[in-house]
Amino acid sequence: MATKQRTRKATGNRMPLSKADLEIMRRETDAAIASLAHYGEPKVDIQELRRHLKHELKGISLSEFLLKEREASR
């Protein structure tokens, strides 16, 4: 009987996290939440924000824009 071969996509190719890694992630997540808490909830729907950015950035994605800005600042 042949076994079904699992692909990288199917397995996710992820390594299990250690307890120390999980604790670091928990602390960092808590710190991020605390530092952003004073801004409150977003006032603009994510789809509306994407439409606005697409118009303002003239067709490039926000990720591409941020990468270009990072490179320009070096």
pLDDT band, residue 2 (cuts 50/70/90):
low
pLDDT of residue 72: 93
Segments in 37-61 forming alpha helices (H): 46-56
- Its pTM stands at 0.42
pLDDT of residue 16: 83
pLDDT of residue 7: 54
For the stretch 7-64, pLDDT in tens is 555 556 677 889 999 999 999 999 999 999 998 888 888 889 888 888 888 888 888 8
pLDDT of residue 61: 83
